[in-house]
């Protein structure tokens, strides 16, 4: 399964909105963002 960069950006905006509802997940979200950035750098 391949995910396009456009889809990742759309999901990122959606997740940013959802994180606003649960601040206790902020650290996990930041970790995920860092992982996504590292993945995008390799592409």
Q: Read off the pLDDT of residues 1-43 as tens digits, 9 standing for 90 and up.
A: 456 767 777 777 787 787 778 788 888 888 887 887 888 787 6
Both tokens of residue 38?
A: 């590292």
Please say whether the beta carbons of 40 and 34 come within 8 A.
no
Domain count, the chain: 1
pLDDT of residue 1: 47
pTM > 0.95? no
């Amino acid at each position: 399964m391949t995910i396009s960069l456009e889809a990742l950006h759309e999901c990122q905006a959606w997740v940013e909105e959802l994180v606003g509802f649960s601040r206790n997940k902020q650290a996990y979200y930041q970790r995920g963002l860092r992982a996504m950035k590292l993945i995008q750098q390799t592409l």
